[in-house]
Amino acid sequence: MRIFVTVGNALVPFDRLLGWVDEATSTLPVPVEGLCQHGPSRVRPRALTPRENLSRAEFEREMNHADVVVCHAGVGTLSDALRRGHRPIVAPRRAGFGEIVNDHQLEIVAALGHEGRIEVAEDAESLRAALLRHARGEARRGPPRDEDPARLLPVARAIAEGPARERPLLLGKLAMSALAALGPRLDRLRVR
């Protein structure tokens, strides 16, 4: 069974989840392989190949090849996993453990969990149970879902409307120029 573990590109570790992964994967009755993108975390699940960070292409390849995804509750990670037909096993990062700035990941876990689109891991045991269902074939990923291009239409329409007005108010423009004169030189701000 091929597992893809990813904790996203946050600058804080998520050792709690990786500890559960290590515990759960070491006691599964099937051979386990796959990648663990761990970022700044210190725990390395022994059954998986550790990688600090992945390029976008590597990330997509792992998402495509994995039988099951285990991840934190970042919006980008979750939408990528769902789009590829996964029903990822998710643990929200918690502010109380210093894993994130606030507890907003609880909201998305509650919403997607309620809709049955993700599986929530509460501890090593529930993670192991979820992985076991995949190992036994009781749970498996579905087909990739085509993205509906129409979902971007509202934003595309707003952009197509162009500028909000012909020209700014003179007073506002003067105020902006005064602020700009106080600001750092443009070449100090440009990186590319």
Partner 1 sequence: MKILVVSSVGGHLTEIMQLAPVLAGHEVVLVLNDEAALPDFPFARVYRIVHAERDARVLFNLLEAARILRHEDPDIVLSTGAGPAVPVAFVARLGTRARIVFVETAAAIVRPTLTGRLMAPLAHHFFYQWDTLARFFPRAEKASIHFG
Interface with partner 1 by CB under 8 A: which residues?
A: 8-11, 56, 74-76, 78-79, 82, 104-105, 107-108, 110-112, 117, 148-149, 151-152, 154-156, 158-169, 172-177, 179-180, 182-186, 189-192
92 close to 112: Cβ distance less than 8 angstroms: no
28-38 residues labelled b (16+ CB within 10 A) or e (exposed): beeebebbbbb
Q: How far is the CB of 9 from partner 1 (least distance, A)?
A: 6
C-beta of 122 vs 148, nearer to partner 1? 148
Q: How far is the CB of 113 from partner 1 (least distance, A)?
A: 12
| Among candidate residues 15, 14, 41, 31, the one with its CA nearest the CA of residue 131 | 31
- Residues in contact with 106: Cβ distance below 8 Å, sequence separation at least 6, in sequence order: 73, 92, 94
C-beta of 137 vs 183, nearer to partner 1? 183
C-beta of 90 vs 131, nearer to partner 1? 90
